[in-house]
Amino acid sequence: MLLTRVITAVCLLIVILPILFFAPPAGLAGLVTVFAMLAAWEWGRLVRLPGWWGPMLYAVVVVVLTIAWHDIPVRGDVRPLFHGAVIAWVVAWGLLAGGVRELRSIRKVVFTLLGLVILPAFVHAAIALRAQGVAFLFSVAVLVWAADVGAYFVGKAIGRRKLAPTISPGKSWEGAIGGAVLVAIIATVAGVTHWFAPTWFSHQFDQNGAAVALALTIVLVAASIGGDLFESLLKRQVGMKDSSRLLPGHGGVLDRIDALLPVFPLAALLIS
């Protein structure tokens, strides 16, 4: 299992890193759109769209909406899409508060509509962050990864109080706080020293000062936790362990980008 995970991760890095560092922005846009299409197919399965064609059609609609958004906003302004994503995630948090319930009628429609906003916003946010520089985009991803790593190790060591026992029993409040502390340390170092600048952290420290920058960083950490929990809710209410088996040893694409989905649009909105 571990060998499979490593091989899959290496293959992904071989594809992603050259596009991230050397390809023009259009290359990254294409790559992230492909990820969104695969994630949309998984989303369609998780909301129980009918037959094999339901998830496929849903993936096509997401891609069409993603591409069409280039012509929808006035003068290329994608901020309305990011605002829509923030509203969608507020609704998602409300669904999380309600816990695991049977997926039927209105609830199914709501989950389906949320994906049509969340996934295109993720694509355009990745493009907007990349426009500020590779390190800028990478710093936001590091925030999510560090929050996850810190939560895992702190939760394993001292985790006692469950964060969302019916949705994701492995997560604890202690782990969430540990992840937030680790990210705050990274943000402070990156913001004060300006290593690899410009990064999202250095931008916030320069524009808003240390206190506001750290507060906004913690908001993004909370958003990353919400994205992780929301995907767990999607899976748990239909009895699935992974969103798919597209990535051997890792599950599906949604399993890998769930925490990035709310963070990228919010991070992009906070610099606009």
Cα 264 to Cα 106, 244, 245: the distances in Å are 28, 23, 24
pLDDT at 148: 94
Query: Among candidates 97, 89, 96, 69, which has minimal Cα distance to 267?
Result: 89
**Residue pLDDT, tens place only, 19-68:** 888 888 889 999 999 999 999 999 999 999 998 899 999 999 999 999 98
Average pLDDT of the segment spanning 127-133: 93
Measured N-to-C along each axis, helices 79-97 and 200-236 cross at an angle, to the nearest 10 degrees, of: 40
- Please write the tens of the pLDDT for every residue from 170-202: 999 999 999 999 999 999 999 999 888 899 999
Exposure string for 38-59, b = 16+ CB within 10 A, e = fewer? bbbbbbbbbbebeeeebbbbbb
pLDDT at 135 over 70: yes
pLDDT interval class at 121 (50, 70, 90): very high
Quote the pLDDT of residue 184.
Answer: 97
- Tracing tokens 């990535």 back to the chain, one arrives at 247
Instruction: Please give the single-letter amino acid code of residue 45.
Output: R
- Quick one: average pLDDT of 245-259? 91
Percent of the chain residues past pLDDT 70, beyond the cut: 97
Residue 73: pLDDT band by 50, 70, 90 thresholds?
A: low
For residue 75, pLDDT beyond 60: no
CA–CA dist 161, 75 (Å, integer): 48
The Cα–Cα gap between 20 and 17 comes to 5
How distant, in Å, are the alpha carbons of 155, 173, 179, 227, 268 from that of 118?
28, 26, 24, 10, 14
**260 has a pLDDT exceeding 60:** yes
